[in-house]
Every structure is written in structure tokens, then in C-alpha cells.
Structure 1
Amino acid sequence: MSLQVPVVDISAYVAGGTPDERTACARAMDAACRTVGFVQVTGHGVPQAVTEGLAGAMDDLFGLDLETKKSWRTPPEVNRGYSPPKSESLSLSLGVESASRMKDFFEAFNVGASQATYPHAPGLPQPDYAENTWPAVPGFRAAVEAYYAEAARVARTLTGVFADALDLPTTFFADITGHSLDVLRMNNYALPPGEVELDGDLTGMGEHTDYGIVTVLWADQVAGLQILGTDGGWHDVVPADGALLVNLGDVTTRLTNEHWLSTLHRVKPPVVDGRIQRRRSCAFFHDGDVDAVVGVLPTCLAPGEEPKYLPVTVGEHVAAKLRGSRAGLVNTAADREAARVLAARG
């Protein structure tokens, strides 16, 4: 059975739509978040020239030799810089043991919000708001910063849609994202022959949920991304023409007591003629303030319904996830997400 990812046009929030148009958009978003947790977002207003600039910058970086790229690597606790192939295992962020441990073959480069991004909030903890490591690649920083600004705008627009869809105060998400832990992760799935064994267990990026409030994803229209449906099966998802893929993170699932879904997803790029077909993606993670306490919203509890999660700060939650994916330590605080992974594997 195929799974259809809903398409939601957010132009009413981007270009100043009428109240009725905004209401229709919020209702469509609510339906998508309750049933799938992934959305094809159109009307986002990101110029094509900006995404083309991002793609070119990624090509310039990832086309360099591995040793050069490794010079921009940071320690696991610093979520910045270069991550080589097979240095991470996203399934460990869920507390799911992996026989081969750090096995995900994608390579990545991360930039994010630093203390300098939020001069109005001095004394932010490190390395949560670490300074960025910029590679010596001509034009890279300018192209990436241009896209980062657009993705951040889209993410904050989406939280405005979310507030209306959940019947929350207009400023609800703004109040917990004034110094949000935002990260832009550029991913490349392409390795030369001989680097990996092309077998049935090949993993581009292991099954995982995203950590924060919302993720805005630009990606090539190449097969590989799969999401877990309510039927227990994995389904292929490819961005529609001109669309950004948007999915919810664990913070939103906690707030809504799982009425909105942080959908499990993974990447299994196709192998063509014995080689991995190249695929690029770039995810903007809008996670929330490091010190924001997130718990189940009373308005998201039906009569007699109990909260499925205890309150936790965004920083504590994200740190546990990163200890799994980047440092190889099983996350013991993700039992509900881990159960979904194990059920799908079964």
C-alpha cells in the first residue's frame, strides 16, 4: 500500500493571506500532522537561486578529498563541522542497539546558531551554541548563510501555522524559540566503489526521529528517503516539484502527547550498476531554546487522557539524542521511539 504525503500551501502565512485562507492552511496542516507527520510544503517563498546556490556549495565541499574534509571535523559533543562516512549511527539516538554500531554511510557538514546569533541572550551554554567551523571553499559560507536565513524564516513561519492549528496563543512557539538551537545539516550520499559493501543491509542513514520542533528539508528528487507509515511499513518519499519536505520533531510530539507525529524515517539510497546513486539533502532543524521546558500541553489532552511524557528541557532532550547519534552511546530515554523502530523491524 502506498502512502501519500499531504501537500500544504503556506503562502497565506508567507504573503499575507486572508483570515479564511490562513484558517484553511492551519486545518490542512493539522490533518497532515495527525496522520502522516511529513508534509510537502509549497508557497514557502524560498528563491530558486538560493537553493541552487546551496546545491553548488555542497558540491564544492563534498567534492574535495576525504583528508581535506576531515580537517574540518569537530568533537562529537560539538554539533558543527564535518562528519565523515560511518562516523554516526542515527538509530542509536533512539536507544536501538546496532550490530555494526557507527555504520551510516552518509557524510555531512553542520552549521548552526551560535552565541553571536543571539546577542540579546548573553551567556548561552557551550558547546550548544558553538561557533561555526567554516571550510576554506570559495563562496561556500555566503551560499550556505543565504539558504540558512531562508530555511529559518520558513521554520518560524511554520510554527505560526502550528500555533493556529493547535489553537495556541500566537506567540507560543516564539516564546520558546528566542534563542533556538537551530542547526543546518548538509548531507551527501555517494561513495566510490570499494568504500562499502553493497549488500542488503546498506544504511545511508539509520531509522530515527528528529529531535526538535520542526525540520525543513531540501533534497534531490532521488529515491532513498523512507518514512514509517501507520501500517508498519516503510514508504518512499521524494520532494514534489518546488516543494520543501517538512516533518515534526520529538519536541512537538511531546507537546501534543503524540496527537501530532514525529515520524520515523531513514535513508536507503538505491544501488545502480554496483554504485550508490548520489543523493543530496539539507535539513534545517528548529529545535527550541536550550532552557525551554517542554511538557504535554493541557489543551492536547482529551478528557481522562494521561500525559505520555514527563517535562524535560530542550537541551537535556537534544543532548541525549546526540550522545547516541554522534558519540555511539545508546539513548536510554527514548523508549517510546525505540519501540516503534523494533516493531517495524519485526
Structure 2
Amino acid sequence: MQPTTDTERPRFQVPLVDISPYVGDGSPAARARTAAAVDRACRTVGFIQITGHGIDPTVAEGLAAAIDDFFDLPLEVKKQWIAPPGINRGYTAPKSEQLSLSLGVAAANRMNDFFEAFNIGVTAADHPGLDLPAGDYADNIWPDGAGPFAARTLAWFAEAGRVARVLTTIFADALGLPAGWFDAFTDHSLDVLRMNNYALPPGDIELDADLTGMGEHTDYGIVTVLWADRVAGLQVLDDDGRWHDVLPEPGALLVNLGDLTARWTNEVWRSTLHRVKPPVVDGRIERRRSAAYFHDGNIDAVVSALPGTVPPGEEPLYPPVTVAEHIAGKLAGSRQLVRNTRAEREAQRVITAR
């Protein structure tokens, strides 16, 4: 048999799925079709483009304006809002993180990722009846005079969180779980919105092929809901170890699974490696913006393989882990540059793809 050539391979695509039957009062048949489409995407790609999500375009416009207003500030001004170590809030300056270290893989002969970011998230005050760790559910850090910035980003945070919970409802149906199965794992979910800006002025560094906006990584939690510019840069790894450019369709949101869902499903569903390699145009990087809503689950939830996902006579691919343990190891890698030693399976995929 002759080997398959690149021209004979199916073209890599991120499936487009309409989730409106779950946003509105869809019929059981319509919901079943949506759940089946999500199941296929989660088994084969790990990324989905969703339409019918119900977010008003003006909320997305407000988010984009907030991102512009903040990241247009001078760097020294933005640095006022860098959080203390271990607090996943506030500003992250360019070249201070290495996302590949969240998988235990150091960047070889490469500077740290050049993106800058600003994080907000769920706080302990959002759940006054629970005794939640203040470090994990930290207060948000707001720029001075942040009225419009806070209002716009919180509006998006609320809508993206709603979409994330719609998705877990779909996930339960797609996996044949009881309705509301994820609720017990997400009723005080450790959710974070990370707004990213990819831009560097000419002459700041040598613009070469190794330049990385955000290194190879998998997302940490249950599911990520991503708003992004229609600017090239996001790349997704396929089963053959090849990277593919991904652009969202107009009005669509990109969705990808996190490591905890891969653990729950014993990798029946996949947490797909991705990275950002912004294009160099006329000697400078074309600016790109994105905002990733990470729906990560309750800090005290224990994640282990679902019944029926482990073949008879085999052991689960991953031992049980709490959300706290898993997220801590990932963040120590990316934000504190401490190599994560508990991500061997994911690390091997990065090494193979290089």
C-alpha cells in the first residue's frame, strides 16, 4: 500500500456546531443532533466553533473596546497591576511566561512567550456561603478608574460563563450522563477570563520563525470559550503531529476541551495541543487579540475516569486528581516557570511535534 500524501489527507477542519437548541427551547431531536455533533468534534479534534450561543454582539464589541483601552496604556503603567506571585489575577507583562512549561517542556533556545494578558475571575465573595481559599478565589485587581473596563469585561465574563455551562449541559447528554451531572463539580467553579494581546514594536526582538506568542499547551480545566480576532496565529495540532492555522468564522466562538475533561473521559475526548504563532507582516507582528474564558471546576472536586471509558482489564490513563492539584501544577509551570512533572503524556506530544 502506498503511503498517504499530504494532498490525499482530509483537510483539517474545526467543526462548526449550532448550539441554539440548548440556548433556547429546542426539541429533543434538535438537541440530540447538537449533542452528537459535539461528541464527534470532541472525539476527533477537541476544538469546536459554535454559533447560536446567544451573546449579543454589543457585549463582544464592549469586550474588544475594553481590551484596546487597557493594552494601549504604556507598559510601565500596566505593570502597576501585576498580581503577587501565586495570584491568577491582574496584568501579565510580555515575555514573563512560558506556557509549554505547564506541560513540563521548556522552550529550547527561545525567549518566553511574548503575549501580554489581563486576568479576572470568580472571587470568594461570589460564594459567601462557602469557605473558599482566598488565593484561588482571589479578589480581582482593577486598573485605576476602571469603571467602563470593569463593566465591559464583567459583562462578557457573565455571558461566556453562561455559554460554558450550556456546553457542560451538552457534554452530559453527549456522554450519556444524567442531566445536570456536571453541576456538582461546577457550582463554585474556579473560572478565569484571560484577555490576551499579541503585539511587539519593530526592532524589539529579531523576528524569526522561532518567535512564539504563546507556547504549545493544553488548557487546564473542563472547557474554554474563546473570543478571538480573525487574525492568523492560532494553530492546532493534529493526530499526525502537524500544526494547522485556525480562524473563527464571523460571529462564532472557538471552544476547546481542557485536561480535566480528557481525564474524565480517559482521552475518549481530547484536550488538544495548540499555540499562537502570530504572522510577521512587513517586518512587524500583526496585532492579535483574544479572550479565553476558562471553566475549570470546583477547587475541591475530584476528577477520575468515568464509568465505561476504561476498556475492560485496563487501568485509567490518569490517576484521580483534585482540581486544586491539577491547576496548581499547570500554573506553577506557566506563570512561575517551574517545570510541571505530572504531564508526561501531554509533554510527549509536544516533543513529537517539534
Q: TM-score range by the shorter chain?
A: over 0.9
Task: Report the CA distance between 1:102 and its aligned residue.
Answer: 5.9
Partner of 1:82: 91
Confirm or deny that 1:333 pairs with 2:328: no
Taking the TM superposition and a 5 Å limit, the aligned residue runs for 1:95-244 are: 95-100=104-109, 103-121=112-130, 123-136=131-144, 137-244=146-253
Partner AA of 1:47 in structure 2: D
The one of 277, 291, 314 equivalent to 2:286 is: 277
CA distance in 2 between partners of 1:19 and 1:279 (Å): 39
Kept in 2: contact 1:102–1:328 (CA 8 A): no
Task: Report the CA distance between 1:177 and its aligned residue.
Answer: 0.4
Task: Report the CA distance between 1:78 and its aligned residue.
Answer: 0.4
**Per-residue displacement from partner, 1:82-116 (whole Å, max 9, x unpaired)?**
00000000000000022357610000000000001
Task: Report the CA distance between 1:126 and its aligned residue.
Answer: 2.6
3-state secondary structure, aligned to 2:338: coil
What RMSD in Å do the two structures reach over aligned CA positions?
A: 1.1
Partner of 2:3: none
Gaps of 5+ in 2: 1-5
The one of 322, 326, 335 equivalent to 1:317 is: 326
Task: Report the CA distance between 1:275 and its aligned residue.
Answer: 0.4
Partner of 2:307: 298
3-state secondary structure, aligned to 2:191: strand
**Per-residue displacement from partner, 1:121-174 (whole Å, max 9, x unpaired)?**
2x2013100000011245100000000000000000000000000001112111
CA distance in 1 between partners of 2:309 and 2:177 (Å): 10
Kept in 2: contact 1:224–1:270 (CA 8 A): yes
Task: Report the CA distance between 1:300 and its aligned residue.
Answer: 1.7
Partner of 2:259: 250
CA distance in 1 between partners of 2:165 and 2:140 (Å): 22
**Per-residue displacement from partner, 1:180-219 (whole Å, max 9, x unpaired)?**
0100000000111122221111000000000000000000
Kept in 2: contact 1:81–1:133 (CA 8 A): yes
Partner AA of 1:134 in structure 2: W
3-state secondary structure, aligned to 1:24: helix
Kept in 2: contact 1:101–1:328 (CA 8 A): no
Confirm or deny that 1:268 pairs with 2:272: no
CA distance in 2 between partners of 1:325 and 1:40 (Å): 26
CA distance in 2 between partners of 1:158 and 1:120 (Å): 26
CA distance in 2 between partners of 1:46 and 1:57 (Å): 17
Confirm or deny that 1:53 pairs with 2:65: no
3-state secondary structure, aligned to 1:181: coil
CA distance in 1 between partners of 2:137 and 2:109 (Å): 31
Normalised by the length of structure 2, the TM-score is 0.95
Partner AA of 2:42 in structure 1: C
| 1:102/1:277 CA distance change after superposition, 3 Å | same
CA distance in 2 between partners of 1:299 and 1:152 (Å): 29
CA distance in 1 between partners of 2:71 and 2:109 (Å): 25
Kept in 2: contact 1:87–1:102 (CA 8 A): no
The 10-residue stretch of structure 1 (76-85 or 98-107) with the greater mean CA deviation from structure 2: 98-107
Number of aligned residue pairs = 344
